[in-house]
Amino acid sequence: MKILVLFALLFFTAFTLTCCDMEQPASEGGPDGKSVVSKMAGKKAKKSFLTIGEFTVEKKSDTLTVVRDGAGRNLALVPRGAADPEGFPPEMIIHTPMKRVVAYSNFDVATLRVLGEINTLVGTTTPENRWYVDEVKKRFTDGSIVWVGNSSGVDYEVIKKQKPDVVLTWDPSIVPMMTELGIPVVITSTPVAMCLNARMSYVKFLAPFFGREQEADAYFQRVGDSLKAIRRRTRDLADQPKVMWGDMYEKRVLVEPGNAWIGELVGLVQSDYLFEDVYGTSCIEISMERFLTSGNDATVYFTYRTPKTGATSKEALKRNHPLMACITPLGPGGSVYSPLPWYSQSGDKLDEIFTEIAAIIHPDAYPNYTLKYFLELPEKDPVEGKEGSKNGEKRI
């Protein structure tokens, strides 16, 4: 019953954008999440209000859009050449369309690709040698993009030299320094993990920064169509695999909570997510006992670790944390999947990623499917030279 309710909500939100705290004022909301007023030809007033998880976008007029970022801060988007609005300090005013962007998150960079604005990227906290995106690598080569330092300690002077219109970041601690430099900051993470609909709708939050609403709508429709296709393939399956997503580290155990898009997607594909009752931020900490207990019931396990960070085989995971050896997926015949290095940079392909996760959980529903974003871990490390380069270099 719960799965049917979830699917009904997702199906409905493909048209109305009303899921995961997504609301529309009854006086203005149209069937596609835009204001009825904004669709009336010949009217000067074009207003709309959109909520995307913790984010909001409110178009006040043709010259002012107010957005709320992940930290609950209101910023003003103003077309270049228009007068700045009253009531907003300079560091909270962003002139659009943006032309120069520094981004911390790979997902934000992927969203720039969706919007056709990757050429605005001038700085990132991921160094050149860890990128798999052709456009980004080329811009590093020609000097258009620079590394601004690790996300835990950026080089403010380097950022200043790049003269960005905005810094997109998950770290609110940089706001005071950026304010001194006169650079607006947008917090693109939230205290609570993004639900499935918020994840696929996030592009609609960044779209007005560039005037790319049409591109955002098209992408949302594409991803929504993929979810409906996934549901059609999996809704009548009798088998309901039990899935867990997370990892054990030396001192901490982190998992994806049930309110995250991952937990909702697992439920959509006729499966049980074993951390469904956990609520909070992405990569939330739980007890080791809870992780191991769920591991005894699991049939499919997704680890955070990539092959480059130690997830080369089940044997390697057991060596890294011997206590994990007892969970069912690491045993003979169990299924363990590791994200490939380019997975985290492929947020512009959510439709493909969602489909691949469905194919992993229900392989019989997707015969002959070839994995692109995940690696199924073998029992033991492959002998060098005898195994194909499944986790090697790839451009996306």
Q: How do residues 40-82 score in pLDDT, each as one tens digit?
A: 334 444 678 999 999 999 999 999 999 999 999 999 999 999 9
3-state helix, strand, coil in the chain (%, to 5): 40, 20, 45
Cβ atoms of 359 and 369 within 8 Å: the answer is yes
Number of CB atoms found within 10 A of residue 326's CB = 12
Query: CA-to-CA distance for 382 and 307, rounded, in angstroms?
Result: 12
Rounded to the nearest angstrom, the gap between the alpha carbon of residue 314 and the centroid of all alpha carbons in its chain is 27
Q: How do residues 297-351 score in pLDDT, each as one tens digit?
A: 999 999 999 999 999 999 999 999 999 999 999 999 899 999 999 999 999 999 9
Distances (CA, A) of 219 to 33, 111, 197, 213: 15, 10, 13, 10
Identify the CA nearest to 3 among candidates 231, 274, 229.
Answer: 231
Could you please report the per-residue DSSP string of 14-56?
Answer: HHH---SS----TTTB-TTSSBTGGGSTT-S---EEEEETTEE
Please state, for a pLDDT cut of 90, what percent of the chain lies above it.
Answer: 82
Rounded to the nearest angstrom, the gap between the alpha carbon of residue 289 and the centroid of all alpha carbons in its chain is 28
Please state, for a pLDDT cut of 70, what percent of the chain lies above it.
Answer: 85
Rounded to the nearest integer, the mean pLDDT of the chain is 88
Residue matched to tokens 């970022």? 69
Cβ atoms of 167 and 159 within 8 Å: the answer is yes
Cβ atoms of 94 and 69 within 8 Å: the answer is no
Cβ atoms of 205 and 166 within 8 Å: the answer is no
Mean pLDDT to the nearest integer, 184-207: 96
According to DSSP, the residues that pair with 168 across neighbouring strands are: 103, 186
pLDDT score for 384: 66
pLDDT confidence tier of residue 382, bands split at 50, 70 and 90: confident
Mean pLDDT is lowest, of 16-20, 109-113, 198-202, 304-308, for 16-20
pLDDT confidence tier of residue 385, bands split at 50, 70 and 90: low
- Is 265's pLDDT higher than 60? yes
* 163 contact partners, CB below 8 Å, separation of at least 6: 100, 122
- Superfamily in which the 237-376 domain is placed by CATH: Nitrogenase molybdenum iron protein domain (3.40.50.1980)
Domain positions in the chain are 237-376
Cβ atoms of 269 and 358 within 8 Å: the answer is yes
Query: CA-to-CA distance for 120 and 128, rounded, in angstroms?
Result: 17
> What is the Cβ-side half-sphere exposure of residue 127, based on CA atoms within 13 angstroms?
3
- Is 193's pLDDT higher than 60? yes
Cβ atoms of 317 and 349 within 8 Å: the answer is no
Pairing of the two strands 121-124 and 101-103: parallel
Identify the CA nearest to 58 among candidates 237, 235, 208.
Answer: 208
Query: CA-to-CA distance for 171 and 4, rounded, in angstroms?
Result: 37
Cβ atoms of 313 and 377 within 8 Å: the answer is yes
* 238 contact partners, CB below 8 Å, separation of at least 6: none
Query: CA-to-CA distance for 268 and 289, rounded, in angstroms?
Result: 27
- Is 261's pLDDT higher than 80? yes
- Is 39's pLDDT higher than 70? no
- Is 387's pLDDT higher than 80? no
Query: CA-to-CA distance for 229 and 218, rounded, in angstroms?
Result: 17
Distances (CA, A) of 384 to 14, 312, 381, 389, 390: 46, 12, 9, 10, 12
Q: How do residues 358-367 score in pLDDT, each as one tens digit?
A: 999 999 999 9
pLDDT score for 48: 85
Mean pLDDT to the nearest integer, 248-267: 95
Mean pLDDT to the nearest integer, 359-377: 97
- Is 179's pLDDT higher than 70? yes
Residue matched to tokens 């937990």? 263
Mean pLDDT to the nearest integer, 231-255: 95
Number of CB atoms found within 10 A of residue 191's CB = 10
pLDDT score for 383: 74
Residue matched to tokens 């954008």? 17
> Is the omega angle on the peptide bond into residue 97 within 30 degrees of 0, that is, cis?
yes
Written as one letter, the residue type at 42 is G
Query: CA-to-CA distance for 19 and 138, rounded, in angstroms?
Result: 38
